[in-house]
């Protein structure tokens, strides 16, 4: 069914090679179907102008994957930073997304049986379609359209389209079970149970499927590459790696103010003079209430072991489809998918920052040995940092309930061979998340505030008895390990929850048929009308409600601060497509066809737009197809892009201002803007002990649609004289303008220094006064329309089938994608950033070469497959924490090595009982992911969107048909 070449084990050969390599297979009668990328039916053996990779049912069953995301994400055309099960910090919703060409997952349109899935995850999720909501056992095949398709499908089809086509014509009962784990202590276990039942008659056809899958969590401590928080530094002696971790340490970290006197004295030695340093840490085993309990040596906290490299997920899904011929001229149909997912993230215990969390630890508190105030946003107090390890990890429990419903009527029109299809669609997603591991700060503020002695020798909260805080007992916040402190903190512990609801409605009328005959064939036409509406409501707990403009102060930690929001929009659209056979069976022209398409869209928020497409198919001889396409594409902002409430996050930030002074930035006004507040210190602005800063993710109701153009051209060659050998090559080029992107602080700082543009420079908010002057207060990360993306490359595919040899039947497939360039132009006239061949903090992983090859074999009741996946080497620019321009230190590119993954399966079918058993292994060579370090990534010291995190693992499946 594919019109592009195949990907072995993740796909299959197209055109004449479209059938599985099974011994003694019968010939397949051809029929007309609507192929992905067109609304006009074509016979299934025809290669078309559109480059398509198809993953067939055989490849799906042999893969050993239990989620749809894992199946598709291995394709060579996937790159960038899609969400996976390894996305723990910033994930935890059990979702997987698809990112074709590295153009962000929101620019890849996801279809189920040719119809848009209109459900998007909540603000904490990716904001793109979660393909894991589609059960694997209902999928007949997956078509991956690797071109823009705005005229055919409308918004979002910029990078391409992934169409999940469900099984039809099932007339038996099928039960399938799978279990697997890793060879690393048998962790990461997964189980799946699937049931499929179908039947058909002259009038009625139905399919019912139920599935249950479970994936167990794996902690980062279980793998050598992720068990420590590793940071890369550059210095005069060269590059070094430190297991540095976080400055929020369980023993507490007190920054001492300059000039503050030692408690109990009115003159003489200052606190800094007493210790000989400006930052001190409590000695373990002490209660922290005496000055002698503190020492100077720097400490850090290794937060990595508490994080996950695979998030847990438990899913139950129900799918049903049915069609009934009411009359010979009228058929009713329905398709319903329901999915419930229980998942969650787990990260290290809550860090505390008295300044950012806006809690003032009073110098008059009975347990404060320093006699000075710490913390508070609008103060000149020094900071105090610690970590609530005794409360346990921060964890979430997320429940996502999705419903995808399509019902309709279809049949032939009373004239010609025209057909019509009237469809109504309703998609709904309800997502609830509860997050644990937080502290109620108003209560904590009372307990760390000033205290006084009662007549009975006990202490109360307040400045004196006349101003006592009822029911409050001072807490020893300087020793979080004491039983009394643990008890008091437990009483203050809290969780928060949010509820997100999304509704998508559609109504469509589609018509297609022959308009009139031409010498080379009938002119085929498809037209359609469609109405769509989307609405979303984000409801956050009252304890996380924050206020403008910075949104960093609420009743618990700033990282959880957000708010309520919601919105909606609708669209009315009309499309038309014409397939024009121009020439046929002439010398030098076996066939010459033209496909034209246009779509008119009217959006309630974004106005009107018209987009077109042009496709050309030319066969000079039967064995060669030369093809080309041109598409105008667009993407309207999602509801999350437009309306999501501000969301706090922690981001790794290589501050370009470390080491700066007023003099060092005088020659660079743009650097002075980035360092506003930092360079005014009068001395050198030094490293503050943490590479993480507070980021604020911001939606933008003023966003405009993205627009662009996509070109593809190439050929499909059936090698003359060699049966079942085909070669395909397609060149692609994308040019997208007015892109919607969430800005990364490192990228924004670099662009501010390079251009001085307020779009970047105004995102930086530093403390301007006091002992925290120069440190980052919050860095805005808005969604913006900014700049242009340009990318081009080539897809290569080779497919060969060798049938009925003495050793059996074989299928050989090789698919590769080469990305020649990926240019980001942040502003008109600005210097472009080349991303191809690099890992980029803003965009993700863009290895120039990716490939997937396989050999599939069958002989009698046996079948097997060996698959090899390759991700080429790349570089990471500016990988260290220090700034070469300011320090004059070498900061060479970090070389990321090429990596191969070897997978294999072996199956046996007991034909008398229709029982199939299969054993397989993934990542047989046990390749561990390359280190990218915490300077450059959020999770696991590596790129969790691209590389395998679990290592070698095995699975066993059994499939029974009745």
Closest CA to 611 of 25, 158, 159: 158
SS3 53: strand
| Secondary structure element (H or E) that encloses residue 69, with its range | helix 68-73
- When pLDDT is cut at 50, 70 and 90, the band that residue 443 belongs to is very high
Closest CA to 34 of 640, 731, 526: 526
Q: Which residue has the higher pLDDT, 47 or 189?
A: 189
User: Looking at residue 907, what DSSP letter applies?
Assistant: E
Where b means 16+ CB within 10 Å and e means fewer, 811-843 reads: bbbbbbbbbebbbbbbeeebeebebbbbbbbbb
Mean of all residue pLDDT scores within the chain: 89
Is 629 in contact with 147 (CB distance < 8 Å)? yes
How far apart CA 890 and CA 707 sit, in angstroms, is 40
Query: What mean pLDDT is predicted for residues 401-411?
Result: 96
Closest CA to 3 of 38, 39, 28: 38
| Strands 493-518, 173-182: pairing kind | unpaired
Render pLDDT for 58-86 as a digit per residue (tens, 0 to 9): 888 888 788 899 999 999 999 999 989 88
Q: Report helix angle 483-492 to 441-448, nearest 10.
A: 140
How far apart CA 46 and CA 60 sit, in angstroms, is 23
The residue whose two tokens read 């490939």 is 851
How far apart CA 380 and CA 355 sit, in angstroms, is 10
Upstream peptide bond of 494 is cis (omega within 30 degrees of 0): no
Render pLDDT for 638-663 as a digit per residue (tens, 0 to 9): 998 999 888 888 787 878 887 666 67
SS3 707: strand
How far apart CA 65 and CA 891 sit, in angstroms, is 40
Q: What was the pLDDT predicted at 31?
A: 62
Q: What is the signed CA dihedral for 234, 236, 237, 239, rounded to 10 degrees?
A: 10
- When pLDDT is cut at 50, 70 and 90, the band that residue 313 belongs to is very high
| Strands 160-166, 108-112: pairing kind | parallel
pTM, full prediction: 0.90
Render pLDDT for 602-631 as a digit per residue (tens, 0 to 9): 999 999 999 999 999 999 999 999 999 999
Q: Could you give the percent of the chain with pLDDT greater than 70?
A: 92
Is 611 in contact with 633 (CB distance < 8 Å)? yes
Q: What was the pLDDT predicted at 688?
A: 58
- Inform me whether the pLDDT recorded for 21 exceeds 50: no
- When pLDDT is cut at 50, 70 and 90, the band that residue 550 belongs to is confident
- When pLDDT is cut at 50, 70 and 90, the band that residue 816 belongs to is very high
Q: Give me 737's structure tokens.
A: 């303008």
How far apart CA 414 and CA 328 sit, in angstroms, is 12
Q: Which residues contact 29 (CB under 8 A, 6 or more apart)?
A: none
Q: What was the pLDDT predicted at 23?
A: 37
Is 530 in contact with 538 (CB distance < 8 Å)? no
Distances, alpha carbon 58 to alpha carbons 22, 357, 943, in Å: 10, 54, 30
How far apart CA 427 and CA 503 sit, in angstroms, is 6
Q: Give me 241's structure tokens.
A: 């790696």
Task: Outline where 634-772 has alpha helix (H).
Answer: 639-643, 662-665, 669-674, 745-755, 758-761
Closest CA to 560 of 572, 544, 576: 544
- Inform me whether the pLDDT recorded for 13 exceeds 60: no
Q: What is the CB neighbour count within 10 angstroms for residue 695?
A: 24
Q: What was the pLDDT predicted at 205?
A: 94
């Amino acid at each position: 069914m594919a019109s592009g070449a195949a990907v072995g084990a993740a796909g299959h050969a197209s055109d004449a090679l479209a059938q599985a390599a099974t011994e003694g297979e019968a010939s397949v009668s051809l029929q007309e179907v609507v192929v992905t990328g067109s609304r006009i039916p074509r016979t299934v053996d025809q290669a078309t102008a559109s480059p398509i990779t198809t993953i067939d049912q055989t490849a799906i069953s042999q893969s050993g994957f239990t989620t749809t995301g894992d199946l598709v994400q291995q394709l060579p055309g996937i790159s960038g930073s899609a969400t996976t099960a390894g996305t723990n910090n910033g994930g935890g919703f059990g979702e997987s997304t698809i990112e074709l060409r590295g153009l962000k997952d929101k620019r890849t349109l996801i279809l189920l049986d040719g119809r848009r899935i209109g459900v998007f995850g909540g603000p904490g999720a990716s904001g793109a379609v979660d393909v894991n909501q589609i059960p694997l056992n209902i999928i007949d095949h997956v078509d991956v359209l690797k071109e823009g398709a705005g005229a055919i499908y409308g918004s979002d089809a910029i990078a391409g389209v992934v169409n999940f086509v469900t099984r039809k014509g099932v007339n038996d009962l099928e039960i399938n079970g799978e279990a697997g784990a890793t060879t690393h202590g048998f962790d990461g276990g997964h189980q799946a149970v699937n049931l499929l039942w179908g039947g058909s008659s002259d009038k009625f056809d139905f399919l019912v499927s139920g599935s249950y899958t479970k994936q167990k969590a794996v902690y980062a401590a279980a793998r050598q590459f992720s068990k420590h928080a590793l940071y890369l530094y550059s210095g005069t002696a060269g590059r070094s790696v430190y297991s540095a971790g976080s400055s929020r340490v369980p023993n507490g970290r007190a920054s001492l103010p300059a000039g503050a006197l030692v408690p109990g004295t009115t003159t003489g030695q200052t606190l800094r003079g007493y210790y000989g340093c400006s930052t001190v840490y409590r000695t373990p085993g002490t209660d922290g209430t005496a000055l002698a309990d503190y020492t100077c040596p720097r400490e850090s906290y290794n937060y990595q072991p508490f994080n996950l490299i695979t998030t847990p997920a438990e899913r139950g899904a129900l799918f049903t489809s049915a069609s009934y011929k009411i009359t010979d001229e009228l058929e009713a149909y329905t398709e319903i998918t329901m999915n419930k997912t229980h998942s969650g993230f787990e990260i290290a215990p809550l860090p505390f920052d008295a300044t950012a969390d806006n809690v003032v630890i009073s110098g008059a508190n009975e347990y404060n040995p320093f006699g000075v105030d710490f913390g508070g946003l609008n103060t000149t107090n020094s900071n105090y940092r610690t970590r609530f390890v005794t409360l346990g990890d921060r964890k979430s429990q997320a429940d996502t309930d999705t419903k995808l419903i399509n019902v309709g009527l279809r049949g032939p029109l009373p004239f010609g061979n025209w057909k019509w299809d009237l469809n109504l669609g309703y998609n709904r997603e309800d997502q609830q998340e509860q997050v644990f591991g937080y502290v109620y700060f108003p209560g904590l503020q009372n307990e760390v505030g000033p205290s006084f002695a009662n007549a009975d020798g006990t202490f109360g909260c307040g400045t004196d008895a006349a101003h006592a805080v009822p029911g409050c007992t001072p807490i020893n916040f300087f020793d979080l390990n004491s039983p009394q402190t643990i008890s008091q903190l437990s009483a203050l512990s809290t969780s928060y929850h949010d509820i997100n609801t999304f509704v998508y409605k559609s109504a469509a009328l589609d018509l297609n048929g022959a308009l009139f005959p031409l010498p080379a064939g009938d002119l085929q036409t498809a037209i359609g009308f469609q109405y769509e509406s989307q609405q979303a409501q984000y409801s956050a707990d009252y304890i996380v409600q924050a206020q403008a403009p910075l949104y960093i102060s609420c009743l618990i930690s700033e990282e959880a601060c957000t708010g309520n929001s919601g919105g909606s929009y609708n669209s009315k659209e009309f499309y038309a497509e014409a397939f024009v056979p121009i020439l046929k069976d002439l010398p030098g022209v076996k066939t010459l066809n033209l496909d034209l398409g246009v779509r008119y869209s009217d959006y309630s928020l974004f106005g009107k737009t018209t987009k077109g497409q042009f496709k050309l198919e030319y066969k000079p001889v039967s064995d060669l197809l030369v093809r080309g396409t041109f598409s105008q594409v667009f993407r309207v902002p999602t509801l999350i892009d437009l309306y999501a409430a501000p969301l706090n996050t922690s981001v790794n930030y290589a501050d370009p201002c470390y080491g700066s002074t007023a003099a060092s930035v005088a020659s660079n006004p743009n650097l002075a803007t980035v360092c506003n507040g930092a360079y005014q210190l009068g001395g050198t602005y030094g490293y503050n002990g943490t590479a993480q800063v507070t980021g604020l993710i911001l939606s933008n109701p003023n966003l405009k649609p993205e627009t662009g153009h996509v070109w593809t051209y190439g050929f499909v060659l059936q090698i003359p004289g060699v049966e079942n050998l085909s070669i395909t090559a397609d060149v692609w080029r994308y040019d997208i303008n007015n892109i919607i992107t969430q800005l990364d602080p490192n990228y924004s700082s670099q662009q501010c220094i390079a251009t001085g543009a307020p779009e970047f420079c105004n995102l930086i908010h530093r403390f301007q006064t006091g002992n925290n002057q120069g440190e980052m207060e919050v860095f805005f990360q808005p969604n913006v329309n900014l700049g242009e993306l340009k990318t081009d490359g080539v897809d290569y595919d080779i497919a060969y089938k060798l049938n009925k040899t003495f050793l059996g039947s074989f299928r050989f497939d090789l698919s590769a994608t080469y990305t020649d360039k990926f240019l980001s132009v942040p502003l008109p006239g600005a210097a472009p950033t080349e991303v191809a061949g690099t890992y980029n903090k803003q965009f993700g992983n863009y290895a120039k070469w990716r490939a997937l090859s396989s050999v599939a074999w069958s002989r009698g009741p046996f079948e097997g497959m060996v698959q090899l996946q390759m991700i080429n080497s790349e570089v990471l620019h500016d990988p260290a924490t220090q700034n070469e321009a300011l320090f004059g230190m070498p900061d060479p590119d970090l070389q990321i090595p090429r990596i191969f993954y070897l997978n294999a399966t072996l199956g046996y079918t007991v034909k008398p009982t229709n029982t199939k058993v299969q054993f397989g292994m993934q990542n047989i060579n046990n390749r561990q992911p390359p280190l990218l370090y915490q300077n450059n990534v959020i999770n696991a010291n590596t790129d969790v969107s691209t590389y395998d995190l679990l290592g070698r693992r095995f699975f066993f499946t059994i499939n029974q048909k009745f």
